[in-house]
Amino acid sequence: MRYLLFFMLLSTHVMAHEKVVRTKADKLAFGKFTEQKHHPWPFALLSIGHNMQSYQDYSGSPYWHDGLDIRGQQEQSVFAAAGGKVVNIENYIHGNELYWEVAILDEEGFVWKYHHISKESITEEIKRSYQNGEKISEGTLIGNIVQWPMSSFGEVYHHLHLLVVAEDGRYINPFLMMEPLADTQAPVINRIGLAKNHKPIDGGQVAGEHALFVEASDLVMHKKFILPPHKISYRIDKGEEKLVWAFVNLPSGKNDIDFIEDFYMKGTCGDYSCRKLLFNLNFSPEKPRGVMSLPLGPHEVEVTVEDIVGNKATKTFKWNVI
């Protein structure tokens, strides 16, 4: 019985979600991202389930989500957002039918990786392009998304996990490749506070070196699937605006774990039933868990969070250094 339970837990985790799996298609990318593109969405989406900077922790080792979860209907047809050559068709988690990739290299050198396509549905045109290098055009039917066996927050979660690879194998934010969505919901700042040893503390008084955190969330066409904002910035004591990060790509981009536990503070969660996002305002790739030593007395921070289409929220927090 115990073994059975263990096996069930293990298989749930294996199937749970997608950690980044690099495939041979990644090495073919040479595109340089310079400005927002306007490709059509691969289908009429229901909502966004996760974005590139989403925090994922299904088994105690957190990672960045990297791709964009585009939620669709059951057996949703998927159409190529950009034309090009099919450069990979692969069962990238071998033996698990949920994890098939169709990858397309477009003319600008970006590799579009369509994950969770059902194998049986991959069209002859896509297979032919993979075999003989023939180009397919934008809007070509790729196949259907696979039936996702797990639900999240009480909802079915059939989705396409879309990744876009640029030069040096870096993933870039797929939102920046697509026609901007009609998203009018601004992100929300739930609270701002002090932190010691990378952990939020209560109250508005602190002694010595400390950091600041913000709890914030964004929603795209949905009420429950909380996402991290696109951009976080702040000003201390009405000084210069400092950018924490804007997610054109991830802070390192070399893999799916670098800096995740520095950018997000202790107390963050992200799985099928818990999403709570605490951001470290003092994060930078140079000083991942940077701290401040401010003069004694009162201070004020003004935090701004912004979504990908430019909706913003701002909130201030005051504290005393004693």
| Chain positions contacting Zn ion, by CB under 5 A | 18, 69, 161
Nearer to Zn ion, 226 or 265 (CB): 226
**Residue 290, both tokens:** 């940077």
In whole angstroms, give the CA distance from residue 94 to residue 161. 17
Whose CA is closest to 99, among 86, 80, 118?
A: 118
User: Are 172 and 166 within 8 A, CB to CB?
Assistant: yes
Looking at beta carbons only, is 158 or 161 nearer to Zn ion?
161
Q: Which is nearer to Zn ion, 30 or 157 (CB)?
A: 157
**Got the DSSP string for 121-146?**
G--HHHHHHHHH--EE-TT-EEEEBP
Closest CA to 151 of 60, 17, 19, 45: 17
Residue 242 has a CB neighbour count (10 Å cut-off) of 13
- Closest to Zn ion by CB, 158 or 230: 158
Nearer to Zn ion by C-beta: 171 or 213?
A: 171
Q: How many CB atoms lie within 10 A of CB 83?
A: 17
In sequence order, what are the beta bridge partners of 56? 63
Q: Rounded distance, CA 46 to CA 65, Å?
A: 19
Which CB, 63 or 234, lies closer to Zn ion?
Answer: 63
Q: How far is the CB of 134 from Zn ion (least distance, A)?
A: 29
Residue (18 or 101) nearer to Zn ion, CB: 18
Residue among 130, 81, 82 nearest 102 (CA): 130
CB of 241 to Zn ion, least distance (A): 32
Closer residue to Zn ion, CB minimum distance, 50 or 198: 50
Min. distance of Cβ 19 from Zn ion in angstroms? 10
CB of 99 to Zn ion, least distance (A): 11
> Least distance in Å: CB of 156 to Zn ion?
14
Q: Residues for the chain: how many in total? A: 322
In the complex, minimum distance from the CB of residue 136 to Zn ion, in angstroms, rounded to a whole number: 24
Partners of 50 in the β-ladder = 69
Minimum gap (Å) between residue 46 Cβ and Zn ion: 14
We find the least distance from the C-beta atom of residue 316 to Zn ion, in angstroms, to be 35
Residue number, nearest CB to Zn ion: 161
| Cβ–Cβ < 8 Å for 32, 224 | no
Tell which phi-psi region holds residue 252, choosing left (phi > 0), alpha (psi between -120 and 50) or beta.
alpha
